[in-house]
Structure 1
């Protein structure tokens, strides 16, 4: 299992983003959420996730805005599960706590901890490469990313934006979308190796 613990960065200087983040976690996590996300203290949120692909998707979605320190912990979780995530216990929760503490002080806002420290470091290093790529993406790159993520083809995205297909292809290339597309399944497999329930 994976525990996601996120903490809003500079929360005292801005608005409360917890409700929006909870909506994102519920939308992106979907049926992979073993327990619904909830605010656990102040501007911190926890969620329990079954499966590396969903854990990775959530980490990417939440790190995109740059407003959260994202800690991802892998490991065992005590069963039976309680009704609320704040009552749950296990190594995955301890790892997530350590990870979010580190994440808040890293430039890319994300850290991973798990039962195998070396494997967790490998997963974190690879995920940081992907985050570096995403952080360099322009607004035009994100625009085409978001359109293609809805299932549109490049031709349909071109029509939607009123630009040529070759312009869309250029945006896809510059934004590194095909590199990201190839990296995500590989990253999910690396992350999945940390899950004792897999």
Structure 2
């Protein structure tokens, strides 16, 4: 199981942004929904690696949050709320978000594994065949790279990408007409945004995360 623990950066200066974050995370597939756990912190439990990547990128786009991804077990049966849940995945997520707070100017996302994944630390194993810790470190590296692409986009680039996502398969000339810009500007925004690189990086991150709980053992 995956647990995301997300903590707000500079809440005393910027006020409570939890409602904005929860709105941004609406629709992400979870087994325990995103909700305020305590203060300005949000938590959820997930089983789909793709959903983990999607949630992480939505959070990093907002630039106001530390992201901790924990991988491990949860005590069963699951309660209705993540606030009442426990297990190694939740412990690992707590360790991960605390590590993310030490990222400085780098992308504030970290991945850690719990006992269920066979490692107490995402960087703790480096055997020839790899192990959960190795897969977690690799997952973190890719998520940080993709997150840097997402965090670096301009508002103009996001306008184009959001319009493309809202109209799958639409021609660039139609997006240009909708936004009141030229088709060349749309093409330029797509190229500069790293859209294709993000898609490839997301797939790589999903595969790596799946190895922690499955094939990497």
Q: TM-score, normalised by structure 1?
A: 0.91
Give the superposition deviation at 1:34: 0.5
- What is the match of residue 148 of structure 1? 164
Q: Contact (CA 8 Å) 1:28, 1:54: kept in 2 or not?
A: no
Which ranges of 4 or more aligned residues in structure 1 deviate by more than 4 Å?
none
- What is the match of residue 2 of structure 1? 2
Candidates 50, 54, 58, aligned match of 2:51: 54
**What are the equivalent positions in structure 2 for 1:74-113 lying under 5 Å apart?**
74-106=71-103, 107-113=106-112
**What are the equivalent positions in structure 2 for 1:35-184 lying under 5 Å apart?**
35-106=32-103, 107-114=106-113, 115=117, 116-152=132-168, 153=170, 154-184=172-202
Q: Structure 2 unaligned segments of length 5 or more: list them.
A: 118-131
- What is the match of residue 11 of structure 1? 11
Q: 1:151 to 1:189 in 2, by over 3 A?
A: farther
Q: Contact (CA 8 Å) 2:32, 2:80: kept in 1 or not?
A: yes
C-alpha RMSD over aligned residues: 1.8
Q: Contact (CA 8 Å) 1:95, 1:113: kept in 2 or not?
A: yes
Aligned residues: 195
Q: TM-score, normalised by structure 2?
A: 0.84
- Asked which structure has the greater RCO (Cα within 8 Å, sep 6+), the reply is 1
In the alignment, the residues of structure 2 paired with residue 6 and residue 136 of structure 1 have an alpha-carbon distance, to the nearest angstrom, of: 20
Q: Which moved more, 1:45-54 or 1:183-192?
A: 183-192
Q: Structure 1 unaligned segments of length 5 or more: list them.
A: none
SS in 1 for 2:213: coil
SS in 2 for 1:77: coil
- What is the match of residue 20 of structure 1? 20
